[in-house]
Structure 1
Amino acid sequence: MNTRHDTWLSRASHGLARVEQFLCSLLIAAFGVLLIVNVFARYVLNSPLYFANELAVYILIWMAFLAISITIHHDQHVRLTMLVGLLPAPAQRVCYWLTELVCLTILAVTLWYSISWLRSPSVAFDIAITLDWPKWHFYLIVPIFCATSIFHLIARLPDRSRTVFTLASDEE
């Protein structure tokens, strides 16, 4: 009876992943439209959108961070499992928990420092040159990514705990 949607936390994580997926879809569409319009403006109207390249870069950055958060939700992020796969099952579970704790720690520290960085005067006055917008709007993806990834990791820990400890008791 172990499903991914047992707890309110895992249901919330699933809902958040769906929102992230929707935002990625919107950004992909916006990226495509922006590039098509810019090509049309450049080669047909002979008047390119001067801000298109800069905005396209920010769109790609946001898409990448959102996509990484989604992969963390689905527990599909890249792992090096060759050596861990050679270990006995209990040692594999210990390695899994250690990597989860390391990921949580790195994300928490990055969240802390990214918030401090966003509040610094150097970021407050940084302007996107061709867009003439404050860059802190674009930089918000870093703490958003850290917070959503931490949430996804914490949300899956109860499900993973049941699975790990159920497997451990079945092996005995």
Structure 2
Amino acid sequence: MSARHDTWLSQASRRLAGLEQLVCSVLIAAFGVLLIANVFARYVLNSPIFFASELAVYILIWMAFLAISISIHHDQHVRLTMLVGLLPTPAQRACYWLTELVCVAMLAVILWYAIGWLRSPSVGYDIAITLDWPKWHFYLIVPIFCATSIFHLIARLSDRSRTVFTLVSDED
């Protein structure tokens, strides 16, 4: 779809994906600096950075969730298309819509439970051992991922429905 025909929803989705890409870039740079600093501290100074491994794990988790959301924006997430490809075009479209709507529903349920989980007292008192920080900061990626992915899916479905209905009305 060309940029001049984009809806505000698809433009916002594109800007959100750009922000997610920027955060991923910052995180990967931080990950690299953290690991290099830890190797230097461990083997040159004989004093490793004690929190480096734990922080590196959280950085990787955040990057993974953000990368999945970006792939959803670009419609590059994993699909099994072998059987769907054998169906006629209208059935393929129906399968596409069905799977996208199932994804939205699943993400909405996960978002609902993630918010409830984050609000629970057990998460509020959970502390990252070597960092001595509350873990809920790190756990925020789950509802963030769900919300951004739902937004990307709704924006894409909105664009697809506009395209499909435009094609149908042009054929009339």
Q: 1:38 is matched with which residue?
A: 38
Moved more, 160-169 or 36-45: 160-169
| In structure 2, C-alpha distance between the alignment counterparts of 1:171 and 1:89, rounded to whole Å | 16
What is the RMSD of the two structures over their aligned residues, measured on CA atoms? 1.6
Q: 2:2 is matched with which residue?
A: 3
Q: Residue deviations 1:94-143, cap 9 Å, x none?
A: 10010011000000000000000000011000000000000000000000
List runs of 5+ in structure 1 lacking aligned partners.
none
Report if aligned partners of 1:126, 1:134 keep a CA contact under 8 Å in 2: yes
Change (3 A) 1:85 1:168: farther
* Match status 1:130 vs 2:130: yes
Q: 1:168 deviation in Å?
A: 5.5
Aligned residue-pair number: 171
Q: 1:171 deviation in Å?
A: 8.1
Alignment of 1:14-33 (within 5 A): 14-33=14-33
Q: 1:159 deviation in Å?
A: 1.3
Amino acid at match of 1:85: G
**TM value normalised by structure 1:** 0.94
Alignment of 1:1-172 (within 5 A): 2-3=1-2, 6-166=6-166
Moved more, 3-12 or 17-26: 3-12
Q: 1:170 deviation in Å?
A: 7.4
Calculate percent identity across the aligned residue pairs: 83
Q: 1:6 deviation in Å?
A: 1.3
Report if aligned partners of 1:90, 1:168 keep a CA contact under 8 Å in 2: no
| In structure 1, C-alpha distance between the alignment counterparts of 2:131 and 2:77, rounded to whole Å | 33
* Matched residue SS, 1:47: coil
**TM value normalised by structure 2:** 0.94
Change (3 A) 1:168 1:156: same
